[in-house]
């Protein structure tokens, strides 16, 4: 009588252990160690409550998690535009974390940047512009707390140039190129 009951109890316990195991297959184990402090821009995510904001349960970096916060970037990737249009997979390779507060998440030299990587080709007079800031300035860029963004709110010709035709000729490139404003009609 007694041993039957014990077998019954232990199989119930075993059943629940199995369920627990199936629900949480060893994931708690893997994220136990925190490798190092997060960079300043992600300072709000310090602490164990936030690991899952970037990591998946299986510890990998989940791009979808990053993009939950970085909505503007997410929209660009979906629209297949901008520098990240073909780089949506391995965020952690270019933006590694846990290297301390002062570590810069973006390691690049804007002065040595191939603009065609953005999908927007600088042609004509645009190739001779000496400073990125002539086009990527505060008025046309989204505000960032820590650094400057190279996204543009508006990339149409008329965002940066006076529209000599006051809205009557909306598709500038039907007549103009970036060489100069003269129009070769004949």
**Positions 147 through 166 that interact with ligand HEC (CB under 6 A):** 147, 149-152, 155, 157-165
Supply the minimum distance, in Å, between the C-beta of residue 96 and ligand HEC. Answer: 5
Supply the minimum distance, in Å, between the C-beta of residue 116 and ligand HEC. Answer: 10
- Choosing from 56, 70, 99, 103, the residue that interacts with ligand HEC (CB under 6 A) is 70
- Choosing from 69, 75, 80, 101, the residue that interacts with ligand HEC (CB under 6 A) is 69
- Choosing from 6, 19, 129, 138, the residue that interacts with ligand HEC (CB under 6 A) is 129
Cβ atoms of 54 and 45 within 8 Å: the answer is yes
Contacts of 53-56 with C-beta under 8 Å, sequence gap 24+, read 54/97, 55/31
Closest CA to 91 of 142, 32, 42, 147: 42
Near ligand HEC in 74-113, by CB under 6 A: 76, 81-84, 87-88, 90-98, 104-106, 108, 110, 113
User: How distant is the alpha carbon of residue 183 from its chain centre?
Assistant: 40
Whole-angstrom Cα distance, residue 168 to residue 170?
Answer: 6
Near ligand HEC in 5-44, by CB under 6 A: 31, 33-35, 38, 41-42
Supply the minimum distance, in Å, between the C-beta of residue 131 and ligand HEC. Answer: 7
Cβ atoms of 103 and 94 within 8 Å: the answer is no
């Amino acid at each position: 009588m007694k041993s039957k009951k014990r077998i019954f109890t232990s199989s119930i316990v075993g059943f629940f252990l199995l369920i627990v195991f199936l629900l949480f297959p060893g994931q708690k184990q893997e994220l136990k160690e925190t490798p190092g402090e997060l960079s300043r821009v992600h300072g709000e995510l310090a602490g164990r409550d936030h690991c899952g904001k970037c990591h998946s349960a299986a510890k990998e970096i989940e791009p979808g998690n990053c993009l939950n916060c970085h909505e503007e970037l997410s929209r660009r990737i979906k629209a297949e535009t901008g520098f990240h249009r073909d780089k949506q997979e391995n965020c952690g390779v270019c933006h590694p974390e846990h290297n301390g507060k002062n570590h810069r998440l973006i390691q690049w030299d804007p002065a040595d940047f191939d603009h065609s990587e953005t999908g927007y080709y600088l042609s004509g007079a645009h190739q001779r512009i000496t400073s990125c800031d002539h086009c990527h300035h505060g008025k046309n860029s989204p505000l960032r707390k820590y650094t400057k963004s190279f996204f543009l709110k508006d990339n149409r010709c008329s965002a940066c140039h006076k529209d000599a035709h006051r809205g009557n000729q909306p598709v500038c490139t039907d007549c103009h190129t970036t060489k100069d404003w003269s129009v070769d009609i004949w």
